[in-house]
Every structure is written in structure tokens, then in C-alpha cells.
Amino acid sequence: MDSFPQHIRTRFTELVHIRYPIVQGGLAHLSFAELAAAVSNAGGLGQIGCACFATPAELQAEIQKTRRLTDKPFGINFPIGHMPLEPFLDAALAEEPAAISITGGNPEPLLQRIQRSGVTIQTMVLVAGVRAARKAEALGANAVIAVGFEGGGHLGRDDIGTMVLTPSIAESVNIPVLASGGINDGRGLVAALALGAAGIELGTRFVAVQESNAHPAYQQALVAAKETDTTIIERAIGRPARVLNGNIAEKIKQLETELEREQNTPAERLQLLLPYIQGNVNTQAALDGQLDAGFVWAGQVAGLIHDIPTTQALIEHIIQEAQEITIRLQHLF
């Protein structure tokens, strides 16, 4: 047996100085120091989610905590739209993390602020189409993360799966591309590299690891889920997102169908849906474990999650499986 690989070198691992091309996606309410540090200590790139914190000072304290738990590079995720992000960005920049990822809107103002700060930091923009990827590159992003339709959480509006999105973007930009959405293991890593990606980003998989603060009921629901057990909500307000099937998800979809039949503006739709889609409805299920009273983000990849390992064991398994597959594939030729 070949020895366990200590590095997988890609343009992305060289960019952010990590051992394996595996990024932990920003996870709303679930991206804290323990998880980020565990991912980075295991050789990937962990991320803290800016949206997990009420104040810039809290974010800054969490970055400092992460530094105490790991001496490896890690990133901070910025989802546009929830709150004014500039004070949070300034707090993050003061700590000079290795990377920042931006999602959910026009990345230009944040990218410009980072560039003006003079801090050396690698920027990653989540995109769901070729046009957005080209724009991110033109704005000076250092990498793009191609988020396919299989993925958990918020998605693009064009419903393009990872298998087509990744090579489409990889052949359209010169910066490194990470594949995201539907990836869970070494098979997914090899497939992503074959499609032209320089690495992978995993979201749902990192909910079901020991270091995650997700409620055990949420983690067990992912283990029990089949690949058919997710659905899309928030399409009626133009920001489709994938969740695990459940009471509240069903209620949201019914409401959206009714809203789509009526004449109403996007703002009116948002107003009516808000009681069911706002953050506390998510945390009630994700953190408090009341799965019937809230909804949880999850990708189709839930159907491939069968255990709740430590982050270290998960990443070792991904790398070992990727190595075995690569060796096996060589015998085809």
C-alpha cells in the first residue's frame, strides 16, 4: 500500500498554504472556532462564519480563539445581506486571517475594502454561474467557489449541478476554482479535480462531525436522510435554498405556491414568509434540536452521510479514499 499522502498540491493549496484542498464552507450558526480549528489542524481550511456573531468584537474574539486552537491558516465567511458587513470586515482584517470568502450578493464593495486595506489575504467568492465567476475574477478575487444545485443552503437561480458548473467555470477563469455542492468523500474530491477544480468545499458534511455545534437530532437526521430527502425553499423570493424535508419546509413551500398564484411584490412575499424563514426558525431546529418546529439547511449529499466522525478522521478518510481511487484509475490505461 502506498504511504498516506502528507500533501495534495494544487493551485489552491499553494495559494492558502494548506496540506489538502478541502475547505469547510461557511455554515450559518455553526461556524465557530472549534470546527474551524479542527478542519485547519487536519490539513484543510476551516472557516468562521461572520454571521454567527452579533458584534464585530465577538467575531474578533472568535478569531483570536481560533488562533489559540490552531497555528494553521483559516478563513472568515461573509454572507452579504444579513447586516452591514463593513464593521465585521474591518474587525476580521485587523486579525489578518489567511482567507475571506464572500457569498450572497455583489462582492465588489467588500473586495475593494479588502484591497484598500493592504492586508495580504486570499479572497474567495462563491458563485453559481460563469458570469459571476468572471466578474469575481475581474474584481480581483483570488479564487472562486462554484456552488452546484445539489448543495445545502443558498444556491444560484439557474439550477446548474456541480458536474456541469465546475468545468464550465474552470474553463472560463484563470484563478483556482473550488467545487462545492454534493461532495462528501474521496470520490467527490477526485471527481472535482477531474472536472478542473483545484479543491473542494464541503458544507453539509461538516454539520455531522464531532466538533460541530449542530444539535445531535440534526446530525442524526442527516445520517438517516436519503438523497431524496431535501427540498428547495425561498424560490418565490428569488433566493432558492436547500433544506431537509420537514414540517416547516413543507409549510414554507405551500405558502410560496399560494404567494406565486397571487399578485404581490417580492417585498410583500418576503414579509409574509419571514416568520417561517428567519434565523430563529433555523436555530430552533439546528441548535435546539426541535426539527418539527424549524428547518435545517442540508444538501442532497445527506444521502451519503452515514456517520458522525471526528473532523480529523473525516479528512483522513477523504484523502485515503482519493488516493486509492486515483491508483485504481491508473490501471484503466
Ligand X SMILES: Cc1cc2nc3c(=O)[nH]c(=O)nc-3n(C[C@H](O)[C@H](O)[C@H](O)COP(=O)(O)O)c2cc1C
Under the rule (CB under 6 A), what is the footprint of ligand X?
25-28, 30, 49, 51, 77, 79, 103, 126, 147, 150-153, 180-183, 201-205, 207, 297-299, 301
Instruction: Name the residue with the smallest CB distance to ligand X.
Output: 203
Least Cβ distance, residue 248 to ligand X (angstroms) = 15
Q: Which is nearer to ligand X, 44 or 182 (CB)?
A: 182
Rounded to 5°, angle at Cα 162 from 159 and 164: 85
Q: Which is nearer to ligand X, 216 or 258 (CB)?
A: 216
d(CA 146, CA 129): 7
Q: Which is nearer to ligand X, 44 or 79 (CB)?
A: 79
Q: Which is nearer to ligand X, 28 or 273 (CB)?
A: 28
Q: Which residue has the cell 445581506?
A: 81
Least Cβ distance, residue 206 to ligand X (angstroms) = 8
Which 3 state secondary structure label does DSSP give 260? Answer: helix
Least Cβ distance, residue 52 to ligand X (angstroms) = 8
Rounded to 5°, angle at Cα 240 from 234 and 241: 90
Least Cβ distance, residue 287 to ligand X (angstroms) = 11
Given a contact cutoff of 8 angstroms between Cβ atoms, the answer to whether 79 and 203 are in contact is no
Q: Which is nearer to ligand X, 44 or 151 (CB)?
A: 151
Least Cβ distance, residue 130 to ligand X (angstroms) = 17
Least Cβ distance, residue 219 to ligand X (angstroms) = 11
Q: Which is nearer to ligand X, 13 or 204 (CB)?
A: 204
C-alpha torsion 160→8→331→318, nearest 10: -60
Q: Provide DSSP, 99-156.
A: EEEEESS--HHHHHHHHHHT---EEEEEESSHHHHHHHHHTT-SEEEEE-TT-SEE--
Q: How far, rounded to the nearest angstrom, does the alpha carbon of residue 6 sit from its chain's CA centroid?
A: 24
Q: Name residue 19's amino acid.
A: R
Nearest to 73 by CA among 21, 147, 108: 21
